[in-house]
Structure 1
Amino acid sequence: MDHSTHEHTTHGEHGEHAGHGEHAEHGAHTGHRPPSTWAAAAQATLHCLTGCAIGEVLGMVIGTALGLHGVATIALAVALAFVFGYALTMRGVLKAGVPFRTALKVALAADTISITVMEIVDNAIMVVVPGAMDAGLGDWLFWGALVLALAVAFVLTWPVNKWMIGRGKGHAVVHEYHH
């Protein structure tokens, strides 16, 4: 079924159907999924890219400024990418009035696969581009490689997010708390 063209329903407590915009009787989960379109996946991927980019850039800048070895810099960048990725998702879910522990679980469910794919791709590119990890913060090679790495990571993570949203996973989970 193409979720972008069909209305979604959920069964209420007594078997009745709740339509697209109605809420289920219990909890925030309505059974409504965002459409599994390339546009919805692009939006989810841009959200993920924002958190990853903040953490990645901050980690690379801190690691490079401190003169850390490439592996330590990458580890710091990856850790911060996950922290900022999860934090951005939690921010929106917490605004919906969801308790912190639940918001954390939602963020973990929504972003772990997407951030993991993005981090594998962008860090692999940073390692493969000759001299990128050794370039200084004032070097165009450092920033050019980082921009290239994040752009390629976006392109390769986009279809992953589309696939996940179509199955009610990833950012489809977050979507449940925005309606």
Structure 2
Amino acid sequence: MDHEHTAHTHTHTGHTDAAQAGGASWSTAVQATLHCLTGCAIGEVLGMVIGTALGWGNLPTTVLAIVLAFFFGYSLTLRGVLKAGMGFRAALRVALAADTLSIAVMELIDNGVIVLWPDAMDAELADLLFWVSLAISLAIAFVVTVPVNKWMIGRGKGHAVVHQHHAH
């Protein structure tokens, strides 16, 4: 039993030491970005579906999608940190610190691709272009955001903060 606890502590310590030394693994960065992508994708899709279904214009639909992407991104982190026993106010601070830059980069890239993609902003829910452009824009945003998360985690920021609180 002691050996199992020591192994867990050693693994966590190794992660923290890597962050303090200025490095983070690509695997850790990918996992953090997948977490971010999940929240962003839920919010983006829901916002675009709601705005498009209600016949809203591009700007209000995009704003709703971005707001919901941040909401769901933060909510996923909050859920995990609250589950680890942290109070709501402290958990909210952790979520804001962990996810704001990651979500912002992902949203900037995702929405930038959609805006630049010919006819994507005018695609309807039933159009293949709507779903293809959304999926590809999220994939590009993921690829761009992984190095951002690697850089932040390597400096003890971003999802490194979340991992510190999961251990407690």
TM tier, shorter chain?
A: 0.7 to 0.9
Secondary structure class of the residue paired with 1:137: coil
After TM superposition, the runs of 4+ consecutive aligned structure 1 residues lying more than 3 A away are: none
Question: In the alignment, which of 84, 88, 113 is matched to residue 76 of structure 2?
Answer: 88
Aligned-residue offset at 1:177: 1.1
Contact 1:110 1:172 in 2 (8 A): yes
Question: In the alignment, which of 93, 96, 100 is matched to residue 112 of structure 1?
Answer: 100
Q: Distance in 1 between matches of 2:44 and 2:158?
A: 21
Contact 1:122 1:150 in 2 (8 A): yes
Q: Distance in 1 between matches of 2:116 and 2:59?
A: 13
Give the root-mean-square deviation of aligned CA atoms.
Answer: 1.7
Alignment of 1:71-82 (within 5 A): 71-82=59-70
Q: Distance in 2 between matches of 1:93 and 1:39?
A: 21
AA at the equivalent of 1:167 = R
Number of the residue aligned with 1:169 = 157
Contact 1:51 1:85 in 2 (8 A): yes
Q: Which runs of 5+ in 1 are unaligned?
A: 1-19, 23-29
Q: Distance in 2 between matches of 1:80 and 1:34?
A: 35
Q: Distance in 1 between matches of 2:91 and 2:17?
A: 19
Q: Deviations over 1:19-52 (max 9, x none)?
A: x828xxxxxxx9x627410000000000000000
Q: Deviations over 1:105-140 (max 9, x none)?
A: 000000000000000000011111111111110100
AA at the equivalent of 2:16 = R
Identical aligned residues as a percent = 67
Q: Which runs of 5+ in 2 are unaligned?
A: 1-7, 19-23
Structure 1 position 33 matched with structure 2 position 16: yes
Number of the residue aligned with 2:21 = none
Larger RCO, structure (CA 8 Å, separation 6 or more): 2
Q: Distance in 1 between matches of 2:17 and 2:106?
A: 22
Between 1:122-131 and 1:40-49, the stretch displaced more is: 122-131
Q: Distance in 1 between matches of 2:26 and 2:57?
A: 38
Structure with greater helix share of residues = 2
Rg larger in structure: 1
Alignment of 1:1-179 (within 5 A): 21=9, 33=16, 35=18, 36-179=24-167
Aligned-residue offset at 1:69: 1.1
Aligned residues: 153
